[in-house]
Every structure is written in structure tokens, then in C-alpha cells.
Amino acid sequence: MGGGGLPFPIPTGRRAGGGGGLILLLVVGAFLLFGRGLFGGDGGTGIQPGLDGFGQAEEARPGQVPEGDTVAGLVGAVSKHAQDFWTTEFQQAGREYRRAKVVLFTGGTQTGCGPGSSATGPFYCPLDERVYIDLSFFRELSNRFGAPGDFAQAYVVSHEIAHHVQKVLGIEPQVRERQRSNPDEANDLSVRMELQADCFAGVWSHSVYLDTQSGQGNLALEEGDIEEGLNAAAAVGDDRLGARSPESWTHGSSELRVKWFKRGFESGQPGDCDTFSSGI
């Protein structure tokens, strides 16, 4: 599949007068040409606990993952497929994609961003470029958040891989720097980055759809899979998780998360995931 144009303008401040929206400047080094076009966590701590963004695990802590664990197998398969997809997208743009490591654990583990535990949920650490997934989380996703199904799990993992894509593109470090220099914008920027990761997860899901249609690849969509992904996106909206005030949101509402995942899935174009230059 072709790309839709990346990267995106990097946010550099609010419009004069403060009335929402962002002034977006084209920053040198902030662009990556994908296909047809050129598009222009928390407040910068380096780790975004909770649901940030999958089948044969590319790295696992010895002794922590039971042999033959079916969820670990799913995580590994999705991780490989997603990163193969992004490798191809980068190659088509004349760029190199650095693959993220996926670390599976139970209970707790040390990361480049500090201790990880089952309490934090899956997360991406930009400092060591690893995705950390506590396998017990997927039971919680089903039982607590009401989002069961294989593709609900696939959504979570592909979202975390998408955060690594943002890191490789240079989007993540520039957003973090902007958050540090303008703390009043930190939550808004976090929401935009999370929604972009949701959209990237949708773009990857579109590639699985194409594989299913052509009978190629080692992953295929089954009836109800996309609904499972949409349900998972809705389940982890800030409003569903108890953050009532939009000013306190860091990931976006259920409606917004579903909207951007659907946008990526329906278009299959990374360039349609520009959450920074338009209203969300």
C-alpha cells in the first residue's frame, strides 16, 4: 500500500489570543515524504503509563512468560506484522525504520523510563525504544474495560508500536520538548499525539484488511475484528476512565479515539493522521 504523506508540522504554540488550535511551523528535519504527499503520555516525563500502544515477541524476559502462552504468541505475531508494515512504508520513503523491541513481562520489570508494573499497563519507553506489555493486562482489558477479543489486543499493541513510529519520525521528541517549554499546552499536545497513534494503528489495521482480501500475509481479519478494535479504543477514552474535564485529558475522549482509529483504517494513509494541524 502507498503512504499518504508524512511527517507532520510540529506544534510550536497556540494562536495569539489563546483561542484553541495551534500555530504549526514547518521545522527543518521534521518531514518525511511518504507516497503521494508532504504533510506538514504525560507532560514530557518520557514515560506514558496506561494505554499507549504488538505476536512473536521480539524480546521477552526469561522465565517470566509461560512457554506456549497464547497471548504472547498473538503479541508477537502482531508486533512482527506491524513493524514489517512500517519498515516497508519507511523504505518507500527512502528512510530506515528502527525496529522496536517488545518486552513481555508479568508483575514488574525495569525499563529505560523507570520501573514498569501491571499497574501502568502497556507503554512505550522512548528512552530505550521498547514496548513493555504485562500479559495480565489483556485480562483486565476484557474484564474491567469490557473490550474482549483478539483484535482488541491487537489494537493496544499496534498503538504502542505507533508511538515508536512517532519517535523514529522525530514527532515524539519535538512534542515532548514543546510540552516542557509550554506546560499549559502539555495535555492538549499529549491528546494529539495519542490520537495520532490511534490513527496509525488504524492504518496498520487497513494493511491487515488488504492482506485478508488478497489472501497474503500471516494475519487475517475475521468478522467482528474491527468492531473489537473500535470497542477497545472507546473503552480507554479519558471520559470513560473518569477524567470528566477535557482540560485534564491526556489521551482523548472515547469518541475521538474511535474517530481517529476509523480514519486510519478507512484511508490506509499515514498522512491522513495529522492530528496537529487541524481541529481534532
144-202 per-position pLDDT tens digit? 777 778 888 999 999 999 999 999 999 999 999 999 999 998 888 998 999 999 999 99
d(CA 237, CA 231): 10
**Angle made by CA atoms 116, 56, 145, in degrees to the nearest 5:** 50
d(CA 229, CA 213): 19
Kindly state the cell numbers that stand for 70.
497464547
Q: Are 257 and 232 in contact (CB under 8 A)?
A: no
The number of residues in the chain equals 280
- Beta strands (DSSP E) in the chain are 10-11, 24-25, 59-60, 101-105, 108-111, 114-117, 123-125, 130-134
* 44, pLDDT greater than 60: no
The full set of domain ranges for the chain reads: 48-273
Contacts of residue 153, defined as CB under 8 A and 6 or more positions apart, other chains included, come to 54, 71, 74, 75, 78, 138, 141, 232
> Can you give the pTM of this predicted structure?
0.77
3-state secondary structure at position 57: coil
pLDDT band at 17 (very low <50, low <70, confident <90, very high): very low
| Cα 239 to Cα 122, 198, 248, distances in angstroms | 19, 16, 10
Quick: pLDDT tens for 209-260.
999 999 988 888 888 888 888 878 777 665 555 556 666 556 777 888 999 9
Quick: pLDDT tens for 69-118.
678 888 999 999 999 999 999 999 899 999 999 999 888 888 999 888 87
Mean pLDDT throughout 9-29? 28
Q: Render 104-124 in DSSP notation, one character per residue.
A: EESSEEEETTEEEETTT-SEE
- For residue 232, the number of C-alpha atoms closer than 13 Å in the C-beta half-sphere is 31
d(CA 54, CA 48): 17
| Cα 236 to Cα 94, 168, 194, distances in angstroms | 35, 25, 11
